[in-house]
Amino acid sequence: MKREKPERGKEVNVRFFPEGGNLLQGVASRVAFEATDQYGNPIDVTGVVMDENRQEVSRFATQHEGRGIFTYTPGTNTGKQRAVAEVEYSGRKYQFDMPVGLPQGVVMETDNLSHPDSIGITLRKNRSTPDQMLGVAILNGGKLQNYCFAWIEDDEVRFKMDKTRLPAGVSQIALFNSKGEILCDRLIFNARMDNFLDIKAKTSKPAYRPCELVEMEFSVTDREANPVSASFSLSVRDGESEVESNHTILTDLLLMSEIKGYVRNPSYYFEEKGDSVETGRAPSLLDVLLMVQGWRRYSWKQMAGVEPFELKYFPEQGIETHGSVVNSRGRQIIPKPQVDVSLLLLRRTENDSLVSLIETFVTDSLGRFSFVSDVEGKWNMILSVKEKGKAKKYMILADRVFNPEPKRYRYADLQVNIVEKANEIMTDEELPDDDSLEASFLAAYQDSLAKLGMDKKVHLLEEITVKAKRRTREQDILYNRSTSIAYCDAASELDDLYDKGYVANNIYALLANMNLDFSSRKPMLFVIDYNPVVWSEVGRSHYRAIRLPAIKSIYVNKNMDVIAQYIVNRTYDISSDEYGNFIRVTNPIMSPMEMAMCFSYVVFIETYPEGEVPVDGAKGVRKTWLDGYSAVSEFYSPDYSMLPPAPDDYRRTLYWNPSVIPDENGNASIQFYNNSRCRNFSISAETVTPQGMIGIYRKEE
């Protein structure tokens, strides 16, 4: 995650989203809008729309989370001035240009709220647009669900489309012409209640003492109260001052996966009243959200046959490993086709037995190979290559060096809400002005401590004298390593270098691969296996002579006070001439801190013990590893029937199970021990059945 300081926007930012995509001159259209502050937080505004002659034509106001909707008819834009929206916020007014209307086209208005079984669609055009036959298609999950054709010759045509067979979730309505071009595009949400399951929970008693055994019973039923034997994931947490999630499998699977951008408190749109999501909080707000943050997920032209469709990635059958066999000649990489590659996977089990898997394959015309494995955990992988039965000194490169761009988060995306203060928004004065959000999280953390009463429990301790031995050199080095700015597992870093087609032969090449800043010509200090290396020609030859496979780990620290600790003499090569040759400088008057300014970093190197250094592979042999599926973790829960109660048990998560399996009657029971303070349980239970039915926990009425 990147925490770069974002560029601040204007104090007030308003964006407009015409329904279907575009406005049309002289034709009324609905326009959604979104108002935010300079940090991206939603704000409440009011405003008016004025035409080119500065006459008021429409008024609007936010409804929820800075979003709203209004009706607007754009003019012909014949003058030099454009229509503007004048927005009022905190007693000040701001002006924004309105989107320009097209001279020809068709606009589409949809009504997904008035009727539970149909969608009302209105198509409008202006007189300069020719009569034509248009098609309307409804898609869900990339599949065509319904369609119809309409001949538009008047200014307006209205019709309805059946939605009873639409799956639950977001569907796309596309208006297209005879050329397969999309004229309008719109997202709607369909809440089918027959596609939901209910998960209910009850405890054996209303309250539990600290560290007491808790018993819970769960039931899974459909909307007709019929039992369903569907496994579900479950977590039970301490509900006191819990950080609010506002996400469920319902919001993430049916809504968030189909729209772009951050949505604050998505559960708000699905809070139930009675027995139906549709009677929840204002479905019209969800409709406006889709108008603002809706997007085309599927390529319409490919689905309409206008553009060819090419399947690039097939469904995975296991852990796929791809690679290539090449021959390196200087900087030139030459693929080696039709060579034999042997694979050996090795792993020791818990009982110290050796498990192995063997496979052979031949590279294709581009020197590439691939194989699929179905293994768990980390395995030693040995690849060897032969050509015509003879081992060849070729490089075997694996395609696993990739660095996805870290997701960028806005200030508004990372605000922390405590349950008791849900949906509160920080003011401009409270927002941090630096490039991190530590202040925001610290404030939330302090607030949670205050609610627990921990900030008021102040005890005055008697004065005491603490006596302890001075830390050893090894302890000092361990501490300084913990404050380092960079760490690398040398074996993993060397493996990445190899897969890039480059074989590192010295410590400087390895450091430069970790970070280009480490390739600075400014000298570095080295500490090898807890022993500082004197900066001299003899010292430099010492760490240069270390075989890179013998290095276990590397830590890099740039704190001046840390660097000063490892200056062990006063004679250093601290500069170089114009030819890059080091100049010896002797200055016994300089203090260690002054000398530390002459160095860039101190590098802590830890090597393998003698006898444990990895052996280099033979000619044409690559030694590396394969990461299989992650092993199933067992959640820790103390058993206070065998242990004494712990007064300092502050576990936040009391029980976690990714697969609770009910019986044939849809019932399941669990047991766990309470922590030392919990009075209110926060329960999260969710499921998705193989038939696509979604189940979420609902409190007993």
pLDDT per residue over 417-463, tens digit each? 666 543 344 444 444 444 443 444 444 444 444 444 444 445 667 77
Nearest in space to 137 (alpha carbons), one of 166, 115, 157: 166
Query: How far apart, in whole angstroms, are the C-alpha atoms of residue 149 and residue 89?
Result: 45
Q: Does the structure show a pLDDT above 90 at 283?
A: no
Instruction: Please list, residue by residue across 594-627, b when 16 or more beta carbons sit within 10 angstroms of its beta carbon and e when fewer do.
Output: ebbebbbbbbbbbbbeeeeeeeeeeebbbbbbbe
Query: How far apart, in whole angstroms, are the C-alpha atoms of residue 582 and residue 163?
Result: 78
The pLDDT score that the predictor gives to residue 473 is 76
Query: How far apart, in whole angstroms, are the C-alpha atoms of residue 7 and residue 410?
Result: 10
The pLDDT score that the predictor gives to residue 494 is 84
The pLDDT score that the predictor gives to residue 455 is 46
Q: Which two tokens stand for residue 544?
A: 């240069």
Nearest in space to 397 (alpha carbons), one of 503, 326, 489: 326
Query: How far apart, in whole angstroms, are the C-alpha atoms of residue 246 and residue 259?
Result: 17
Return the H-helix or E-strand segment holding 335.
Answer: strand 332-335
Return the H-helix or E-strand segment holding 346.
Answer: strand 340-348
Rg (CA), the chain: 33
Q: Which residue has the higher pLDDT, 351 or 657?
A: 657
Query: How far apart, in whole angstroms, are the C-alpha atoms of residue 569 and residue 556?
Result: 21
Query: How far apart, in whole angstroms, are the C-alpha atoms of residue 684 and residue 681?
Result: 10
CA quadruple 244, 249, 250, 255: dihedral positive or negative?
positive
- Spatial strand order in the sheet of 169-176: 143-152, 132-140, 169-176, 182-190
Contacts of 390 (CB under 8 A, 6+ apart): none
Could you report the per-residue pLDDT of 128-182, keeping only the tens digit for each?
Answer: 889 899 999 998 887 889 999 999 988 889 999 999 888 888 999 999 988 888 8
pLDDT category, 549, cuts 50, 70, 90? confident
Other Cβ atoms closer than 10 A to 292: 20
CA angle 99, 139, 689 (to 5 degrees): 125
What pTM value is reported for the model?
Answer: 0.66
Q: Does the structure show a pLDDT above 60 at 538?
A: yes
Q: Which residue has the higher pLDDT, 226 or 536?
A: 226
Query: How far apart, in whole angstroms, are the C-alpha atoms of residue 287 and residue 246?
Result: 19
- Please compute the mean of the pLDDT values over residues 331-347 and round it to a whole number: 88
Query: How far apart, in whole angstroms, are the C-alpha atoms of residue 677 and residue 449?
Result: 13
Query: How far apart, in whole angstroms, are the C-alpha atoms of residue 61 and residue 440?
Result: 30
The pLDDT score that the predictor gives to residue 237 is 92
pLDDT category, 274, cuts 50, 70, 90? very low
The pLDDT score that the predictor gives to residue 266 is 86
The pLDDT score that the predictor gives to residue 590 is 63
CA angle 142, 148, 154 (to 5 degrees): 130
Tell me, rounded to whole angstroms, the distance of Cα 393 from its chain centroid: 41
CA dihedral 277, 279, 280, 281 (to 10 degrees): 140
pLDDT category, 662, cuts 50, 70, 90? very high
The pLDDT score that the predictor gives to residue 17 is 92
Query: How far apart, in whole angstroms, are the C-alpha atoms of residue 644 and residue 470?
Result: 36
Single-letter code of the amino acid located at 619: K
Q: Does the structure show a pLDDT above 80 at 11?
A: yes
The pLDDT score that the predictor gives to residue 160 is 94
Query: How far apart, in whole angstroms, are the C-alpha atoms of residue 379 and residue 387?
Result: 26
Nearest in space to 50 (alpha carbons), one of 87, 80, 13, 14: 87
- Please compute the mean of the pLDDT values over residues 239-253 and round it to a whole number: 80
- Please compute the mean of the pLDDT values over residues 662-686 and round it to a whole number: 92
Query: How far apart, in whole angstroms, are the C-alpha atoms of residue 142 and residue 644?
Result: 57
Q: Which residue has the higher pLDDT, 595 or 56?
A: 56
Q: Which two tokens stand for residue 23?
A: 């406005």
Query: How far apart, in whole angstroms, are the C-alpha atoms of residue 63 and residue 48?
Result: 15
Determine contact, residues 339/294, Cβ cutoff 8 Å. Answer: no
Nearest in space to 17 (alpha carbons), one of 294, 291, 295: 291
CA quadruple 270, 36, 5, 447: dihedral positive or negative?
negative
Could you report the per-residue pLDDT of 360-376, keeping only the tens digit for each?
Answer: 889 999 999 988 888 88
Helix (H, G, I), strand (E, B) or coil at 664: coil
Could you report the per-residue pLDDT of 13-53, keeping only the tens digit for each?
Answer: 999 999 988 899 999 999 999 999 887 889 999 999 998 88
Determine contact, residues 372/318, Cβ cutoff 8 Å. Answer: yes
Strands 694-697 vs 196-203: parallel, antiparallel or unpaired:
parallel
Determine contact, residues 182/176, Cβ cutoff 8 Å. Answer: yes
Helix (H, G, I), strand (E, B) or coil at 451: helix
- Spatial strand order in the sheet of 601-607: 486-489, 551-557, 601-607, 524-528, 531-532
83-92, 239-248, 299-308, 539-548: least confident range: 299-308
- Computed over every residue of the chain, the mean pLDDT equals 80
DSSP annotation of 526? E
70-79, 260-269, 295-304, 438-447: least confident range: 438-447
Single-letter code of the amino acid located at 47: G
- Please compute the mean of the pLDDT values over residues 658-685 and round it to a whole number: 92
Q: Which two tokens stand for residue 403?
A: 């660095």
* Main-chain phi, psi angles of 355, to 5 degrees: -110, 140
Q: Which two tokens stand for residue 363?
A: 């590279």
pLDDT category, 271, cuts 50, 70, 90? low
The pLDDT score that the predictor gives to residue 673 is 95
Task: Write the CATH number of the domain with boundaries 194-241+652-701.
Answer: 2.60.40.1930
Query: How far apart, in whole angstroms, are the C-alpha atoms of residue 417 and residue 41?
Result: 14
The pLDDT score that the predictor gives to residue 79 is 64
Scanning 519-653, the segments in alpha helix (DSSP H) are 537-544, 560-565, 592-596
Query: How far apart, in whole angstroms, are the C-alpha atoms of residue 260 and residue 246?
Result: 17
Return the H-helix or E-strand segment holding 326.
Answer: strand 319-329
Could you report the per-residue pLDDT of 82-110, keeping only the tens digit for each?
Answer: 899 999 999 999 999 999 888 999 999 99
SS3 letters across 358-409: EEEEECCCCCEEEEEECCECEEEEEEEEEECCEECCCEEEECCCCCCCCCEC
The pLDDT score that the predictor gives to residue 577 is 43
The pLDDT score that the predictor gives to residue 587 is 53
Q: Which two tokens stand for residue 145?
A: 């669900």
